[in-house]
Amino acid sequence: MNEFAAALLNWFDQSGRKHLPWQVRDAYRIWISEIMLQQTQVATVVPYYERFIQRFPNVNALAAAPLDEVLHLWTGLGYYARARNLHRTAQQLIAHHQGMMPKTLDEVQSLPGIGRSTAAAILALSYELPHAILDGNVKRVLTRYFGIHGPTSNKQIEAQLWQRAQQCTPTTRVANYTQAIMDLGALVCTRSKPLCHACPLATQCIANVQTLQSQLPTPRPKRTRPQREVYVAVISDESDAILLQQRPASGIWGGLWVCPQFDDAESCHTFIHSKVTNAKSLQKMPVIQHSFTHFDLTLRPYWAANAIARTVIADETGYCWYHPHRPAHIGLAKPVLDILKYLQIATSAIEVSDV
Binding site for DNA (CB under 7 A): 17, 20, 22, 33-34, 37-44, 76-81, 85, 112-119, 121, 135-137, 139-140, 153, 155, 179, 182-183, 185-186, 191-193, 219-220, 222-223, 225-226, 250-254, 290-295, 333-335
Of the candidates 230, 251, 202, 234, the one whose C-alpha atom is nearest the C-alpha of residue 305 is: 234
Shortest approach of DNA to residue 204 CB, angstroms? 21
| Cα three-residue angle 268-292-65, rounded to 5 degrees | 80
Backbone angles phi, psi at 291, to 5 degrees: -115, 95
Q: Give 138-169 as a DSSP string.
A: HHHHHHHHTT--S-TTSHHHHHHHHHHHHHH-
Distance between CA 97 and CA 115 in Å, rounded? 18
Shortest approach of DNA to residue 338 CB, angstroms? 9
Query: Does residue 175 come out as left (phi exceeding 0), alpha (psi in the -120 to 50 range) or beta?
Result: alpha
Shortest approach of DNA to residue 119 CB, angstroms? 6
Q: Which amino acids are annotated catalytic? A: 34
Of the candidates 321, 327, 331, 318, the one whose C-alpha atom is nearest the C-alpha of residue 346 is: 327
Residue placing its CB nearer to DNA in the complex, 197 or 294: 294
Shortest approach of DNA to residue 105 CB, angstroms? 11
Shortest approach of DNA to residue 29 CB, angstroms? 11
Report how far apart, in Å, the C-alpha atoms of 215 and of each of 72, 129, 179, 181, 298 are. 41, 33, 25, 20, 34
Residue placing its CB nearer to DNA in the complex, 66 or 76: 76
Whether the CA torsion 255, 49, 158, 163 is positive or negative: it is negative
Q: Which helix (H) or strand (E) holds 228?
A: strand 227-235
Angle between helices 27-36 and 81-96 (to 10 degrees): 160
Residue placing its CB nearer to DNA in the complex, 149 or 310: 149
Q: How buried is 132 (Cβ within 10 angstroms: 0-12 exposed, 13-18 middle, 19+ buried)?
A: buried
Cβ contact 225:216 at 8 Å? no
Residue placing its CB nearer to DNA in the complex, 20 or 343: 20
Residue placing its CB nearer to DNA in the complex, 52 or 237: 52
Cis-peptide, bond into residue 217, ω within 30° of zero: yes
What is the rounded (10 degree) CA torsion for 72, 74, 76, 82?
A: -130
Kindly provide the b/e burial profile for residues 171-190, where b requires at least 16 CB atoms within 10 angstroms of the residue's own CB. Answer: eebbbbbbbbbbbbbebbbe
Residue placing its CB nearer to DNA in the complex, 31 or 271: 31
Residue placing its CB nearer to DNA in the complex, 141 or 307: 141
Q: Residue 132 in 3-state DSSP?
A: coil
Count of C-beta atoms within a 10 Å radius of residue 263: 11
Shortest approach of DNA to residue 31 CB, angstroms? 11
